[in-house]
């Protein structure tokens, strides 16, 4: 049966502002949320809109930001990584484990030179990421389940290393990057900014970045284009684990101690940052720019709620509701785009 060949006019794309805004909804909505929240807290509390507090907010989201860089890659491929917080935790603990602790710390650890301790720790998180990658691509375990198992495995390694104790010392480079500052700017914020920038450059300007978007946009088509889809999926799982590991090491220095379950809240925060920012859970849409907006939304929300007089238990509920709203927008924006494409 002959299908009538309709050629869309070149001008059809610019049918007006409304369709354009609709197709850009996933980028616009988080940004409006950020402006609205900032305006609200600035109005509600005189101590919110200060330069000092901006510094606080940036510092507070930095560890989440470092972890979220890798997670953005994973979610762009329409996969998920639930092991990020556990891998951050185990890497932070490992780097302390390989550092000479004060005599009152009761951990049978193995002191190594600082640089070696850092390298071994990064190799550890990369290895855990590789296990995720192999489980996902070679065995074919869905990433949700595979990384759920890895979450337990990493937590288990953490437990074996510290055995309920707390370690304090980490290599001096990590201490500086995690808790020092230069010219009044915390190194932690600088590292987070550099990693976010690097992530953005990789996703936007490299061949690998393009493949990530293509695999996320239509995995079947990527395979029919002769892309090595498994290699790309494996790579994003390793990237995610390494970013988590770096976040974990700096986080330990930032908190001043390494112990079990230290990063538990970072799992949901990192996923929330990526998704609230507008990166599609179905893959192929979004990016580091979205993640930055998402981080700031969460940062402003957490910080702002401390500045206004509000029941601290209510804060948890409010965060949950904001996350739900972001998910609704995420799914809705996807549908609008699909409609626009048809």
Partner 1 sequence: MSEGRSPILELQGITKSFGGVEALRGVDFALLPGEIHGLVGENGAGKSTLMKIIAGVHTEFSGRFLIDGAETHFRSARDAHAAGIAMVHQELSVAPDLTVAENVFLGNQPTNRFGLVQWRRMAREAGEQLARFGIDVDPMSRLGDLPIGLQQLIEIARVLFSGARIVILDEPTSALSPPEVERLFSTLRRLREEGTAIVFISHFIEDILRVSDTVTVFRNGRKVAETASAATSKGALIEAMIGRGGEALEHSYTDDLMLPQPSGSSVILKVDQLSLARSLQDVSFEARAGEVLGIYGFMGCGQQELSRILFGKLKPDSGTLAVEGRPKTFASTAAARRAGVALVPESRRDMLFHQEPVYKNISISILDRISALLLKPAQERDIAQRQVEQLQIRPPVVGLDLGMLSGGNQQKVALAKWLTYPPKLLVLCEPTRGMDVGAKNDVINIVRDLRAKGLAIIVLSTEPETVLSLADRILVLKRGAVVREFRNEPVSKDRLLEAA
Chain positions contacting partner 1, by CB under 8 A: 1-10, 12-13, 205-207, 209-211, 213-214, 217-218, 220-228, 230-231, 284-285, 337, 340-342
Distances 28 to 34, 41, 237 between C-alpha atoms, Å: 10, 20, 28
Q: How far is the CB of 341 from partner 1 (least distance, A)?
A: 4
The Cβ-side half-sphere exposure at 147, using a 13 Å CA radius, reads 25
Distance CA 9, CA 192 (A): 45
Distance CA 296, CA 185 (A): 17
Strand partners, 185: 182
Q: How far is the CB of 199 from partner 1 (least distance, A)?
A: 15
- Reduced to 3 states (helix: H, G, I; strand: E, B; else coil), residue 169 is coil
Task: Provide the residue count of the chain.
Answer: 342
For helices 187-205 and 172-179, angle between their N-to-C axes, nearest 10 degrees: 90
Q: How far is the CB of 133 from partner 1 (least distance, A)?
A: 15
Contact present, 67 and 247 (Cβ < 8 Å): yes
State which residue, 230 or 319, has the beta carbon closest to partner 1. 230
Tokens linked to 259: 């112990």
Distance CA 285, CA 327 (A): 14
State which residue, 16 or 183, has the beta carbon closest to partner 1. 16
Tokens linked to 249: 């090491």
Residue 247's closest CA among 191, 303, 330, 309? 191
State which residue, 67 or 222, has the beta carbon closest to partner 1. 222
Q: How far is the CB of 307 from partner 1 (least distance, A)?
A: 40
Q: How far is the CB of 247 from partner 1 (least distance, A)?
A: 25
Contact present, 64 and 298 (Cβ < 8 Å): yes
State which residue, 164 or 207, has the beta carbon closest to partner 1. 207
Q: How far is the CB of 272 from partner 1 (least distance, A)?
A: 25
Q: How far is the CB of 334 from partner 1 (least distance, A)?
A: 10
State which residue, 3 or 309, has the beta carbon closest to partner 1. 3
Q: How far is the CB of 225 from partner 1 (least distance, A)?
A: 5
Burial zone of 51 (CB within 10 Å; 0-12 exposed, 13-18 middle, 19+ buried): exposed
Tokens linked to 257: 């101690």
Cβ neighbours around 265 below 10 Å, total: 11
State which residue, 6 or 309, has the beta carbon closest to partner 1. 6
State which residue, 45 or 228, has the beta carbon closest to partner 1. 228
- Reduced to 3 states (helix: H, G, I; strand: E, B; else coil), residue 64 is helix
């Amino acid at each position: 049966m002959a299908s009538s060949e309709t050629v869309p006019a070149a001008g059809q794309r610019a049918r007006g502002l409304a369709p354009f805004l609709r197709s850009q909804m996933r980028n616009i909505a988080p940004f409006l949320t950020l402006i609205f929240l900032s305006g609200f807290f600035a109005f509600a509390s005189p101590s919110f809109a200060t330069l000092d507090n901006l510094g606080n907010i940036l510092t507070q989201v930095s560890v989440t930001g470092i972890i979220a860089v890798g997670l953005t890659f994973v979610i762009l491929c329409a996969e998920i990584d639930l092991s990020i917080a556990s891998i951050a935790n185990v890497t932070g603990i490992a780097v302390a484990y390989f550092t000479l602790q004060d005599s009152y710390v009761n951990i049978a650890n193995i002191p190594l030179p600082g640089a070696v301790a850092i390298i071994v720790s990064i190799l550890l998180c990369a290895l855990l990421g590789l296990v995720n990658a192999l489980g996902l691509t070679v065995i074919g375990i869905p990433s949700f389940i595979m990384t759920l198992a890895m979450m337990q495995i990493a937590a288990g390694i953490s437990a074996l290393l510290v055995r309920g104790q707390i370690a304090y010392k980490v290599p001096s480079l990590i201490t500086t990057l995690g808790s020092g500052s230069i010219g009044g700017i915390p190194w932690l914020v600088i590292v987070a900014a550099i990693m976010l920038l690097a992530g953005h450059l990789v996703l936007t300007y490299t061949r690998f970045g393009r493949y990530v978007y293509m695999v996320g946009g239509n995995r079947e088509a990527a395979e029919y284009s002769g892309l090595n889809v498994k290699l790309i999926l494996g790579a994003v799982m390793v990237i995610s684990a390494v970013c988590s590991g770096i976040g974990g090491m700096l986080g330990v220095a930032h908190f001043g101690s390494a112990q079990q379950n230290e990063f538990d809240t970072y799992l949901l925060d990192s996923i929330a940052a990526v998704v609230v920012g507008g990166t599609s859970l179905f893959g192929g849409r979004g990016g580091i720019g979205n993640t930055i907006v998402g981080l700031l939304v969460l940062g402003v929300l957490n910080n702002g709620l401390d500045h206004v007089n509000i029941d601290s238990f209510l804060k948890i509920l409010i965060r949950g509701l904001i996350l739900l709203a972001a998910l609704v927008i995420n799914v809705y924006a996807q549908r609008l785009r699909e409609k626009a494409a048809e």
